[in-house]
Amino acid sequence: MNLVTLSYAQYFGLFVSLSVVIYLLGKGVPPIKSVLSFLSLLLAAYLFTTLQSTGQTTLLLLNFTFGIDILTKFFVWMTFGIAIIVSFVLVSNKELSPTFHALYLINVIATVFIFLSRDLISFFLAWELMGWTTFAMIISDGWTDKLKAARKYFVWSAIGAYFVLIGFAILISQTGYYQFEPILAHIGTIPTGWLIFAVALLVAGFGVKAAMMPLHVWAPDAYSESPHEFTGFFSGVLSKAGIYGVFMAFFYFAARFEAFNMLRIHGTSIFGYIMVWIGAITAFGAALIATNQEYGKKLLAWSSVSQLGYIIFAFGIADSLGMTGALAHALAHALFKSMLFIIMAAVIMRTGTDHLPSLGGLIKKMPLSFIFAVVGGLALAGIPMTIGFTSKWIIYEAGIHGGYIFTTTLIFAASTAAFLYYYRFVYSVFLGPLHEEHKEVKEAPAYYWISYILIAIPIFYFGLYPGKLLAIISKILDTYDLPSLQTYTATTVATPLGTFNGLLIGLGFGAALLVGLILYLIGGRTKKAASPTDKYLASEVVTNEFELHYAMDFYKFLERELHGILKISAQKFYEFFEEIVRFTADLNRKLFFCGNGQAYLYYLTIILTILIFAIWRINL
Partner 1 sequence: MIRKLFVLFLLVIVGFFLASVVVSVPFGAEKTIVGRYYLNNTIGETGGVNAVTSIVVLYRGFDTLGEVTVLFLAATGLAAILANTREKRKKHKEKPSLIMRVGTDYLFPAAIVFGSYIFLHGHLTPGGGFPGGVVIASGFLMLFLAQWHYKADELWLKVIESLAGMTYVLIGLIGLWKLGTFLGNFLGKGTPNMLLSAGIIPLIYIVIGIKVGSEMTGLLQNLRETTENE
Partner 2 sequence: MVSPILLIAIPLFMAFSVPLWGLIWKKLPRYIPFATFGMTIAVLVSLLPQLWAKGVISVVIAGVKPPFGINLVFGPFGAFFALIIQIVALAASIYLFEYEPPEPAEKFYMLFILVVLGATGMVLTGDIFNMFVFLEITSISSYALTAIRKDGHSAEAGFKYLLLGSLGSTLFLFGIALIYGSLGTLNMADIGARIGEMNPNLLAAAVILILIGMGVEAEMLPVNGWVPDAYQAAPVPVVSIFSGVVAKAGIYALARILYTIIGLESYASLLLIFGILTLLAGELAALRQKDVRRLLAYSSIGQMGLIMLAFGTVGFTAVIGGIFHAFNHALAKALMFFALGIMAAGVGKWDMDSLEGIGRVKPYTTLLFTIGLLSTLGLPMFSGFWSKLLIIIGMVNAKYTVYASLALFGSAVEVVYFARLLGKFYSSKISNNLKDAIPESKKIFSLLGMTFIAIFILAVGIYPDALVKWIAQGAYILLNKATYIGMIIGGAIQ
Residue 605 lies near partner 1 (rule: CB under 8 A): yes
Residue 154 lies near partner 2 (rule: CB under 8 A): yes
Q: Whose CA is closest to 305, among 354, 259, 236, 373?
A: 236
Binding partner of residue 609 among partner 2, partner 1, none, CB under 5 to 8 Å per kind?
partner 1
Give the nearer residue to partner 2 in terms of CB position, either 131 or 361: 131
The single-letter code of the amino acid at 64 is F
What SS3 string covers 93-137? CCCCCHHHHHHHHHHHHHHHHHHHECEHHHHHHHHHHHHHHHHHH
Selected from 297, 616, 617, 618, the binder of partner 1 by CB under 8 A is 616
Selected from 69, 128, 319, 443, the binder of partner 2 by CB under 8 A is 128
Give the nearer residue to partner 1 in terms of CB position, either 53 or 598: 598
What is residue 488's DSSP assignment?
B
Q: Which stretch binds partner 2 (CB under 8 A): 143-151, 292-300, 302-310, 361-369?
A: 143-151
Longest alpha-carbon distance in the chain? 100
Selected from 94, 439, 560, 589, the binder of partner 2 by CB under 8 A is 589
Strand partners, 344: none
Selected from 270, 511, 514, 601, the binder of partner 2 by CB under 8 A is 601
Residue 584 lies near partner 2 (rule: CB under 8 A): yes
Confirm if 321 and 488 have CB atoms less than 8 A apart. no
Residue 585 lies near partner 2 (rule: CB under 8 A): yes
Give the nearer residue to partner 2 in terms of CB position, either 405 or 615: 615
Residue 608 lies near partner 1 (rule: CB under 8 A): yes
The HSE-up count of residue 86 (CA atoms within 13 Å, CB side) is 34
Per-residue contact string for residues 238-267; x = within reach of partner 1 by CB under 8 A: ------------------------------
Which residues touch 600 (CB under 8 Å, ≥6 apart)?
Answer: none
Which residues touch 515 (CB under 8 Å, ≥6 apart)?
Answer: none
Q: Which stretch binds partner 2 (CB under 8 A): 331-339, 457-465, 522-530, 596-604?
A: 596-604
Selected from 165, 199, 204, 456, the binder of partner 2 by CB under 8 A is 165
Residue 539 CA from chain centroid, whole number: 38
Sign of torsion over alpha carbons 19, 20, 23, 29? negative
Selected from 612, 614, 617, 618, the binder of partner 1 by CB under 8 A is 612
Residue 595 lies near partner 2 (rule: CB under 8 A): yes
Q: Which stretch binds partner 2 (CB under 8 A): 401-409, 523-531, 535-543, 580-588?
A: 580-588
For residues 509 and 517, give the distance between their C-alpha atoms in angstroms, rounded to a whole number. Answer: 12
Cis amide prior to 466 (ω within 30 degrees): no
For residues 447 and 452, give the distance between their C-alpha atoms in angstroms, rounded to a whole number. Answer: 9
Give the nearer residue to partner 1 in terms of CB position, either 514 or 604: 604
How far CA 41 is from CA of 16, 104, 171, 244, 595, in Å, comes to 12, 10, 34, 22, 54
Give the nearer residue to partner 2 in terms of CB position, either 172 or 507: 172
Per-residue contact string for residues 95-124; x = within reach of partner 2 by CB under 8 A: -----------x--------------x--x
158: burial class by Cβ within 10 Å (0-12, 13-18, 19+)? middle
Residue 562 lies near partner 2 (rule: CB under 8 A): no
Residue 54 lies near partner 1 (rule: CB under 8 A): no
CB of 591 to partner 1, least distance (A): 14
Give, for 499, the enclosing helix (H) or strand (E): strand 498-501
Q: Which stretch binds partner 1 (CB under 8 A): 129-137, 401-409, 443-451, 607-615?
A: 607-615
Q: Whose CA is closest to 323, among 332, 314, 333, 334?
A: 314
CB of 587 to partner 2, least distance (A): 9
Per-residue contact string for residues 171-190; x = within reach of partner 2 by CB under 8 A: -xx-----------------
Residue 599 lies near partner 2 (rule: CB under 8 A): yes
The HSE-up count of residue 158 (CA atoms within 13 Å, CB side) is 7
Residue 602 lies near partner 1 (rule: CB under 8 A): yes
Measured in degrees and rounded to the nearest 5, phi and psi for residue 499 equal -120, 140
For residues 527 and 182, give the distance between their C-alpha atoms in angstroms, rounded to a whole number. Answer: 69
Selected from 61, 521, 522, 542, the binder of partner 2 by CB under 8 A is 61
The single-letter code of the amino acid at 261 is N
Selected from 73, 151, 475, 556, the binder of partner 2 by CB under 8 A is 151
What is residue 491's DSSP assignment?
S
Q: Whose CA is closest to 38, among 101, 126, 103?
A: 101
Residue 594 lies near partner 1 (rule: CB under 8 A): no
Binding interface with partner 1 (CB under 8 A): 602, 605-606, 608-609, 612, 616
List interacting residues with partner 2 (CB under 8 A). 13, 16, 58-61, 106, 121, 124-126, 128-129, 131-132, 135, 139-144, 147-148, 150-151, 154-155, 158-159, 162, 165-166, 168-170, 172-173, 581-582, 584-586, 588-589, 592-595, 597, 599-601, 603-604, 606-608, 611-612, 615-616, 618-620
